Amino acid sequence: MATLHLLSNPGAAASCLAAVADDDAVLFLGDGVFALTARPNSAAPIGVLRDDAESRGVAVPSHVRPMSQTDFVDWVVAFDTSVTWR
Q: Are 40 and 17 in contact (CB under 8 A)?
A: yes
Domain annotation for the chain: domains and CATH numbers = 3-85 (3.40.1260.10)
Tens digit of each residue's pLDDT (9 = 90 or more) over 53-69: 999 999 999 999 999 99
> What pLDDT band is residue 41 in, cutting at 50, 70 and 90?
confident
CA angle 32, 36, 38 (to 5 degrees): 110
What predicted TM-score, i.e. pTM, was given to this entire model?
0.95
Q: Are 32 and 86 in contact (CB under 8 A)?
A: no
Name the percent of the chain lying above pLDDT 70: 100
Compute the distance between CA of residue 5 and CA of residue 82 in angstroms, rounded to an integer: 6
Q: 1 pLDDT exceeds 90?
A: no
How many CB atoms lie under 10 A from the CB of residue 53?
21
